[in-house]
Amino acid sequence: MNKQNTIEHMTSHLFRENSGKMVAVLSKKFGLSHLETILDIVQDTFETALNKWRFSGLPDNPSAWLMTVAKNKALNAIQKQSKNTSDTKIKAHYQTVEQNTDITLSEQEISDSQLHLLLACLHTEFSQKNQIILTLYVLCGFGVPEISSALCMTDEAVKKVLTRSKAILRESDNIFNVQLKTKIEFNIQTIHAVLYLMFNEGYKTTRNQAGINRDVCFEAMRLTKLLLDNHYSNHETQALMSLMFFHVSRFSSRIENNEWLILEEQDRSQWNKIFIEEGYFYLNLATHSTVISRFHLEALINSLHCIAPNFEQTDWQKIVFLYQELEKLEKTPYITLNRIIAESHVSMDNHLIEELEVLENSIPQEHLCVFLVTKAELHKKQGNLSKMQDFLLDALKYCKSEIDRRLIEKKLKYS
């Protein structure tokens, strides 16, 4: 890798690592009413950095350099806006902002600024999907094309969401004045739900052609870790972090040559042992809770997969039990479908087919592909290859991506 490519790679890495911090700190200092200006300035700061560093090399402290340049750009922009207005109230506001130039913050203040901004992005007027879009855009540095690709939307649809959401966000300056710990404790269930959905958008997306969007997953993990590191969390947060680590530990073995590898086919030696250890670390912390959440149960299920030396030695009986407990907490078609799949690995019985028939009417269209593949697999276990092929052909009609299509075609080829 030559020097220019190295600088571009480092700048890209620094953008993902620092853009959210910069937006949060500048928003706290200058106000969310200037959000559009701040977002443009952060983008412009990285373009300035890339052009400068190509010739001068990286500074000793790139993050501090970026924050200083962004602050100066923000101040210049606000001074320019102040000169261009004749409204005395607005002018007075700009003058107050101009005086608030001290941007030296402790790590704790930087973390708190990000968490305040996260709360702003989870405004109750936004749907959960829109909360995810805004969080990815404002706090994670995702561009419109990245978000539209990750969430399988058009660029125009994402832009419309952002335009409406940012208008509401600009009126949320008071979010930086609330008592953070109290506000997070009050909203912790919402925060968990959005971070979990964000992670799943990356991990389980079946409409994205790549199959997995690692950046989305790691941003969900970064924000979850931010809660944990600053003690604005509970045992449920620890269970969620554990679940995420168990999932990402298998990234490297889920796809090969642009094709899904099902659990039986995965090379377990490729599973990331450090991530698995992290998963168990947070799971052990989470088990001190007197309340069991869905994240506890899902983390336990995934821990059993991670500890099994191979597919055949997986403790499917325990996994079935945990899915049954999960159904008591949250009865959804997707959870029931997973429980049926687990049961089929213990003992294939007609009642599982019957359960699938009952379940079919409640399966959302977005899960029909997975449902029909499951139905095909259960009929295969019963030796009914003709029905298996029929259901796989039906599943092809509901595929949202080429990577799913290739998996089903492979199953048809070897049936």
Selection from 271, 263, 400 nearest residue 342 by Cα: 263
Collapsed DSSP state (helix, strand, coil) of residue 320: helix
| Angle at alpha carbon of residue 398, lines to 394 and 127, rounded to 5° | 150
On whether the CB atoms of residues 30 and 93 are closer than 8 A, the answer is no
Q: Which amino acid is at 394?
A: D
CB atoms within 10 A of CB 46: 20
CA distance 138 to 121: 8
- Residue 99 host element (H or E): helix 88-99
DSSP-derived letter for residue 126 is S
CB atoms within 10 A of CB 164: 14
Q: Which amino acid is at 283?
A: L
On whether the CB atoms of residues 214 and 251 are closer than 8 A, the answer is yes
Do strands 259-260 and 255-256 pair parallel, antiparallel, or not at all (unpaired)? Answer: antiparallel
Q: Which amino acid is at 180?
A: L
Q: Topology of 107-206 in CATH?
A: Arc Repressor Mutant, subunit A (1.10.10)
Collapsed DSSP state (helix, strand, coil) of residue 8: helix
Q: Which amino acid is at 72?
A: N
Would you list the DSSP string of 350-406?
HHHHHHHHHHGGGS-GGGHHHHHHHHHHHHHHTT-HHHHHHHHHHHHTT--SHHHHH
Residue 53: phi, psi to the nearest 5? -70, -20
User: What would the pLDDT profile of 160-214 be if each residue is shown by its tens digit?
Assistant: 999 999 999 888 777 888 888 899 999 999 999 999 989 998 887 645 556 778 8
- 254 to 112, 279, 403: CA distances (angstroms): 36, 18, 12
CA distance 346 to 321: 11
**What ranges do the domains of the chain cover?**
1-105, 107-206
On whether the CB atoms of residues 219 and 275 are closer than 8 A, the answer is no
pLDDT value for 349: 85
CA–centroid distance for 321 within its chain: 28
pTM: 0.87
Provide the sign of the torsion angle of the four alpha carbons 316, 319, 325, 331, taken in this order: negative
Specify the length of the chain in residues: 415
Half-sphere exposure of 241 (CA within 13 A, CB side): 24
Q: Which residues of the chain have pLDDT under 70?
A: 1-4, 82-104, 205-210
Average pLDDT of the residues of the chain: 88
Selection from 223, 162, 198 nearest residue 39 by Cα: 162
pLDDT value for 93: 47
Collapsed DSSP state (helix, strand, coil) of residue 90: helix
Would you list the DSSP string of 149-160?
HHTT--HHHHHH
Token pair for 154? 């058009």
